[in-house]
Amino acid sequence: MILRKVPSDVTWECEYMSLVYLVSVPSCDPSTKVGAIVAFPNRSFVSGFNGCPSKVSNWLLDTDDKYSVVRHAEENALDFAGINRCQEQRPDLYVPFHPCPRCLGKLIHFRIKRVIYHTEYRSSVNDDRLFNLILQNTEKEFRPDIIKYDEKTYGKLLFQHRHFGMKRKA
């Protein structure tokens, strides 16, 4: 990870999206490290990363069963942030990849206002049809804005990152 010179006019979106990559580092997933940031209106934030449920051995992440077991970064970040605080304050959520339908349901349930994702990458658990179906059937007021991060608007990320094929040292 290479730290770039931090510009004085860095946007909050740039700061949070850069943090998404930083907080993904502790993930024990051997192939895909994902971070998420729940950013509240008062600028406090909560982070999460993907991995096995607490107290479940990480070796499952090396098997084909991992997709059924692994908790997504969004789920962990939301749980840490707490449903009451989220429903009251309607924070934004930052993630590196387009969220999956399962997480979308939870994001709506927690009343996330904006979902800002960095790249169009979609994993095997993604299903655009289901994603749009859930969104279209959500009350308009509680439908989160799904926004792709735009470097021209928000600025170049502060960190370079490598997610794939990274292994955590034992």
Residues that bind Zn ion (CB under 5 A): 72, 100, 103
Shortest CB 6 distance to Zn ion, Å: 30
Separation CA 166–CA 77 (nearest Å): 21
- State which residue, 100 or 108, has the beta carbon closest to Zn ion: 100
Shortest CB 68 distance to Zn ion, Å: 13
Separation CA 39–CA 121 (nearest Å): 22
- State which residue, 72 or 161, has the beta carbon closest to Zn ion: 72
How many C-beta neighbours within 10 Å does residue 108 have? 18
Instruction: Give the CB-nearest residue to Zn ion.
Output: 103
- State which residue, 46 or 100, has the beta carbon closest to Zn ion: 100
Instruction: Give the single-character DSSP code of 37.
Output: E
Separation CA 73–CA 24 (nearest Å): 8
Shortest CB 75 distance to Zn ion, Å: 7
